[in-house]
Amino acid sequence: MSKKTSYFSHDSNARNDEKILAMRMRHGAEGYGVYFMLIERLRDEADYTSVKDYNMIAFDLRVSAEKVKSVVQDFGLFSFTDDGKRFYSESFMERMKLKDEKTKRRSDAGKKGMEKRWNGKKDNNVTKTDSNVITKDKIPITSKVKESKVKNNTPLPPKGEPDGGDVSWKKDIKIYLKELRIAYRKLIEDPEYIRTQEKFHPNVDIKLSLEKACTNFWATDAGWTHKKKKRSKDINWKTTLTNAIDMNKVYKPKDGEVTASKEPYKPDKW
């Protein structure tokens, strides 16, 4: 007898996600394999969360506990419960929520269909014994059907625009750039953030590296197009720009060297 297996969707371009790219740069294909084995483990859990026992997980995956810990904690790929004892993937949790809701709708529809068939059999029995039942109900039933059709013909708001209101960043690059500018300014004006990143990236000019990431990619049509391919409605710009530092490093000048500009690029230009 074959063992029942669970299913989850897997995007064909998952390897190009910026968080996964950062993880692959450090851990290579092995890290990519560890990530998806962790997702498989989450799929087998009833609540799609995993206990934070890196030694146990490492034994299961046949890799080091340090590598498991790094994949889980260092790249923003997973989140933790309030008590810090379990971890989960927000994107995977959202996908499974949609799947579970779809499964429930199908189940409910099946139950309603069965109930309707049973009620239909009961109605047929009533018709045979009392033909007046149909005569009395003809007009009200027709009226209700027409009324229902009128109500159901109300047009829905455009997809991605709740209640027909504001246009999202996926529809308008100006909104996308506005959100990027706000996030960019917030990061470069946060001394604690800059100090933290300088600790992780010795001799790297964090502000100029963020400027480079925005100017060369995220503030361009290519960056906008890349983000539009994602399923998420909102952009976590802090995570995106932080991960981009590794691929856009601008090192501080050595003694005697002069840079072209001492000020970070003004986002109003892009």
Neighbours of 23 (CB within 10 A): 23
Burial class (CB in 10 A: 0-12, 13-18, 19+), 232: exposed
4 three-class SS: coil
Q: Please list the alpha-helical segments (H only) found in 130-249.
A: 132-152, 173-188, 191-200, 206-213, 221-228, 237-244
pTM: 0.42
pLDDT digits (tens, 9 = 90+) for 134-151: 444 444 555 554 555 445
Kindly indicate the confidence band of residue 44, based on its pLDDT and cuts at 50, 70 and 90. confident
Span 219-240, average pLDDT: 87
Weakest-pLDDT range from 150-154, 157-161, 248-252, 253-257: 157-161
Kindly indicate the confidence band of residue 49, based on its pLDDT and cuts at 50, 70 and 90. very high
CA distances from 175 to 3, 133, 171, 179, 219 (A): 49, 61, 8, 6, 12
Number of H helices, E strands in the chain: 10, 3
State residue 122's pLDDT score: 59
Kindly indicate the confidence band of residue 166, based on its pLDDT and cuts at 50, 70 and 90. low
Residue, of 41 and 254, whose pLDDT is higher? 41
Going from N- to C-terminal start, the domains of the chain cover 14-88, 173-269
Half-sphere exposure of 76 toward its Cβ, with a 13 Å CA cutoff?
Answer: 15
pLDDT digits (tens, 9 = 90+) for 169-222: 888 999 999 999 999 999 999 999 999 999 999 999 999 999 998 998 899 988
Residue, of 99 and 195, whose pLDDT is higher? 195
Residue, of 228 and 162, whose pLDDT is higher? 228
Per-residue pLDDT for 5 more than 70? Answer: no
Kindly indicate the confidence band of residue 8, based on its pLDDT and cuts at 50, 70 and 90. low
Distance, in Å, from the CA atom of 69 to the CA atom of 60, rounded to the nearest integer, reads 14
Non-local CB neighbours of 211 within 8 Å, separated by 6+ positions: 250, 264, 265
Do 159 and 167 form a contact (C-beta atoms < 8 A)?
no
Do 57 and 71 form a contact (C-beta atoms < 8 A)?
no
pLDDT digits (tens, 9 = 90+) for 77-90: 999 999 999 999 99
The rounded mean pLDDT for the chain is: 79
Share of the chain above pLDDT 70, in %: 73
C-alpha closest to that of 249 among 197, 195, 212:
212
CATH among 2.40.10, 3.30.70, 1.10.357, 1.10.10 for 14-88: 1.10.10
Span 122-133, average pLDDT: 52
Per-residue pLDDT for 263 more than 80? Answer: no
Distance, in Å, from the CA atom of 165 to the CA atom of 234, rounded to the nearest integer, reads 16
